[in-house]
Structure 1
């Protein structure tokens, strides 16, 4: 039996995916909320993290991995992921042209975003 057999067959709206992620942060649900093209990457990362957790008796890496993929699923459902990539490309172009790029330190931005989402970051 594969994880595919447990997934919802119906197409969900971005709002439904976000609500699902808020209610259920299990590996199975996170995987089901990812676009199909990302599920193989999730599977690979999850298996590696679980193997490491088994060896080291430490679930920290598994929890960090699930937090990462939870954010990815949410950002991909809402279109934030593409917006971040586009913004990054614009900033990279500015840097390559030698232009000044105003902004805030990355750690500050990440801490603010994590606070808004109710997630703790270990930076």
Structure 2
């Protein structure tokens, strides 16, 4: 029996998944906390980040990837992910109707995030 098939047999509540993610931020646990449909994407992204880290002798890409997938696992377990998608769809509909949508410009948000990561963006 593989580890993945064992994970599928042990269904956990959202609370159990969040608690697990808080206690253990290892790649193995983050992957186990993701819905099965997302694990292939996690594997692909993780392998790419590890290859890049090996080439550049820099773990920053791996750490950034793990932070991203940790948040995804948490959001998907708690239903926050679907809420974000629904909000995005409502905003897109408002934009398409020509309505004003309050918020910050995307360029500003991306520039702020890039500066936190120490990355330069050509916007």
Structure 1 length as normaliser, TM-score? 0.81
Choose 51-60 or 7-16, whichever is displaced more: 7-16
Matched residues in 2 for 1:3 and 1:23: separation?
19
Q: Which ranges of structure 1 fall in alignment gaps of 5 or more residues? A: 112-120
The 1:5/1:56 distance shift into structure 2, 3 A limit, reads farther
* Per-residue deviation, residues 42-65 of structure 1 (Å, max 9, x unmatched): 000000100111111000000000
Residue aligning to 1:86: 86
Q: Which ranges of structure 2 fall in alignment gaps of 5 or more residues? A: 119-123
Residue aligning to 2:47: 47
Q: CA RMSD in A?
A: 2.5
Aligned residues: 113
Residue 39 of structure 1 and its aligned partner are, at CA, apart by 0.1
Matched residues in 2 for 1:53 and 1:34: separation?
23
Task: Please say which structure displays the higher CA radius of gyration.
Answer: 2
Residue aligning to 1:101: 101
